[in-house]
Structure 1
Amino acid sequence: MGYVARVLALVAVGMFVSATASVAEEKDPLKPRVPADQLAEAKQMKNPVEATPENIAKGKALFEGKGTCVNCHGKEGKGDGPAGAILNPSPRNFTNCKFHKKRKDGELFWVIKNGSAGTGMVSLVPAAITEEEAWTIINYERSFCKE
């Protein structure tokens, strides 16, 4: 199934879920989304893209553009984007600093690359972005935590 077809299917499922659920909340913000048998390996992955101001700006452009992250996670990363409004559970709230302290970059990369079962998060690598772009987006996502 192509990327556009997956997104359309996601929207259709999200509309059904939204119609049958009263309040969408972020699903287990501190629980790992990587399967247990892959978690240790994901945690060991290091972000090869340095978190410089220039790279964070590139991550923002990807988040709001090619990566399509803004559609679900919102411009301020709160999980309140227009497409995210119909999802249950709601998309990840990247302003949650407890989440950032608990998750390693490799775990975030794994979710961007593989999607997240039980949520609306679909695989974006390589359908929409490259691995390097995913790492760049992670640096920007980390900037939403202001602690």
Structure 2
Amino acid sequence: MSTGKNLKGLIRPLLIVACMGASYGDADEFKAVGRCPEIRGTQTAPTSYLGRTNPLSPTAENRAAGARLYQDDARPTPCVTCHGVLGDGQGPAAAYLNPAPRNFRCRSTMLDIPDGQLYWVIEQGSGELHHPARQGAQHLGRPGRTQTVTAMRSYGDYLTEEEIWQLVLYIRSLANETD
């Protein structure tokens, strides 16, 4: 793949994220990029998701399909844009996001996240910004909020069930202790 294609694919998402960045503020969570273990207030998936385990075998073929989605093919924006090439949460858009994108390389964090939770976050997103009924700047920084607003959008309208499970396999393969 050419460098031009990589840059072209990153410019639009980076412009969108840069415009959103002002809404996120500059709290200390910006410094959490790559932290391990990683503490998050991400909403827990419904019980119907939590009990799910990945139905796909962790074959080289399934992991390679997940890697292609992560690096290039997931739409509207590949995972690498925020989570980085290494999966450490240090993608080109990470500097504009608070909280920082999840560090998939942190084994101690990833071991505690069930497959069904990962599937649900990819399918549904994990931030109120990506739930149409709750969108808007009026939700940011509102007193009394218990969940952290993240920039993780929903991919359920773009990826098949099989593709999401392939991503889960690939993301799990990234986990190794960083600190």
TM-score (norm 2): 0.67
Larger radius of gyration: 2
Give the corresponding residue for 2:156.
125
Number of equivalenced pairs: 137
Give the corresponding residue for 1:78.
88
State how far apart, in whole Å, the 1-side matches of 2:166 and 2:41 are.
Answer: 21
2:125 pairs, out of 115, 118, 121, with 115
Give deviations 1:59-89, integer Å, cap 9, x for gaps. 1011001221000000000000001221011
What secondary structure does 2:73 align onto? coil
Q: Is the 8 A contact 1:57 1:140 kept in 2?
A: yes
Give the corresponding residue for 1:4.
none
Give the corresponding residue for 1:136.
166
State how far apart, in whole Å, the 1-side matches of 2:97 and 2:40 are.
Answer: 19
Matches within 5 A, 1:1-147: 10-17=17-24, 20-21=26-27, 24=30, 25=32, 29-31=38-40, 33-35=42-44, 38=46, 40-67=47-74, 68-117=78-127, 118-126=149-157, 128-146=158-176
What secondary structure does 1:146 align onto? coil
What secondary structure does 1:102 align onto? coil
State how far apart, in whole Å, the 2-side matches of 1:104 and 1:32 are.
Answer: 15
Q: Report how far residue 146 of structure 1 moved.
A: 3.1
Q: Report how far residue 17 of structure 1 moved.
A: 2.4
Q: Is the 8 A contact 1:14 1:87 kept in 2?
A: yes
Q: Is the 8 A contact 2:106 2:176 kept in 1?
A: no
State how far apart, in whole Å, the 2-side matches of 1:100 and 1:138 are.
Answer: 11
Q: Report how far residue 23 of structure 1 moved.
A: 5.3
Q: Report how far residue 22 of structure 1 moved.
A: 5.6
Runs of 4+ residues deviating >3 angstroms: 7-11, 20-23, 26-32
Unaligned runs of 5+ in 1: 1-6
Unaligned runs of 5+ in 2: 1-12, 128-148
What secondary structure does 1:42 align onto? helix
State how far apart, in whole Å, the 2-side matches of 1:23 and 1:52 are.
Answer: 36
State how far apart, in whole Å, the 1-side matches of 2:125 and 2:174 are.
Answer: 21
